[in-house]
A and B are shown apart, each in its own frame.
Chain A
Amino acid sequence: MPQSAFHHFRQGLKASFPVVVGYLPIAFSFGLVSHEGGLPWWAAGLMSLIVYTGAGQFAALSMLGMGTPMPEIVAAVLFMNLRHIVMNLALLPKLAIRSLGLRSLVALGVTDETFAVSLFSADEEVLTTAGMLGLNLGAWSSWWMGSLVGAWAAGLVPKGLNDAMAVMLYGLFIGLLVPAVRGKSRGLVIALGAMAVNLAARQVLAPGWALVAAILLGAGLTFLLPEKAEEAKDAL
């Protein structure tokens, strides 16, 4: 690696620090709850290693817990991750990478958080190929390491809390949703609409497909809501 690329890589790795701090407790929770859901420790680690998606992994756990069959789980996670298409369409042209292998490597590392850091970092050296690889490596490593530690720590949870742990995922989902919709009625309406669709769809569909339908139709509510100027910022 040439000198400047190595420097960019290090700047990227440094820029990953706030993402790492944000990921570790969530990854730890994932490991902890995956044990509760009956996944062996290696499966929790492997999932974080090669699936690498926060909300999607928790959704998969939650659906596994309900005994949802595989096709529904995969479909729900797929729809939840389609947003990465848009992020990479915005990110990759800025890097102008010729090699398909390198483009793919950078593309595989995109998450909501690394995307935001890369585009808004004050340090322009982060938004380079080597910088992105450093940023992605830091974020990704903290995600799977945190998950492994959480899966290991699951054995230390006191017996009295074991049953109560079943609600942890829901608490986490609420903890993610509330700050996201704070002062943003549009997001709140969409979330509440998706809840209603889910409730209704469960009368006619298996719970897994009801969830998929609620995601697709609930998000479709966006076309019924008035567009606002604030949206340009929301798009992140």
Chain B
Amino acid sequence: MRSDLLLILALSLSTAVPRLLPAFLGDRFQPPEAFRRWLDAVPFAALGALIFPGILSADPSTPLTGLAAGAAALAASLLRAPAYGAAIASVLAAALVQALH
């Protein structure tokens, strides 16, 4: 419980500092263009890295669960389901694989 609290406090600093920095920098400071370009790419890189290869070990007993879940989420989002629709599809696919496995 104490470690949860510590983690949350540390995380709140890691989101507050980037948000607050510009408030202290003043209105005329602008970051270099290369930094902006790199920042624009960060969300794509973060999502990609969060998905793979972690998804393969979501179920420690078999990578099939993660593969099926990933395929279901991919299909749902290609069909333009909202993000939580893809999440629900992945859970249902995983439950199906686990029932059959």
Which residue numbers of A lie inside 8 Å of B, CB to CB?
25-26, 28-29, 39-40, 43, 46-47, 50-53, 55-60, 62, 64, 66, 70, 73-86, 88-89, 92-93, 96, 100, 103-104, 106-108, 110, 160-161, 163-181, 187-188, 190-195, 197-199, 202, 207, 211, 214-223, 231, 234-235
Given A70-B6, A86-B31, A164-B92, also A174-B70 (CB < 8 A): yes
A-B pairs with beta carbons under 8 A, tally: 294
A179 CA to B70 CA, complexed, in Å: 15
A123 CA to B97 CA, complexed, in Å: 49
A176 CA to B10 CA, complexed, in Å: 25
A51: shortest Cβ distance to chain B, in Å? 5
Q: Chain A residues near B20 (CB, 8 Å)?
A: 104, 107-108
Q: Are A86 and B39 in contact (CB under 8 A)?
A: yes
Q: Chain A residues near B99 (CB, 8 Å)?
A: 160
Chain B interface bracket (under 10, 10 to 19, 20 to 34, 35 or more): 35 or more
A167: shortest Cβ distance to chain B, in Å? 4
A118 CA to B4 CA, complexed, in Å: 34
Scoring A169, A175, A218 by chain B CB atoms within 10 A of each residue's CB, the highest score goes to A175
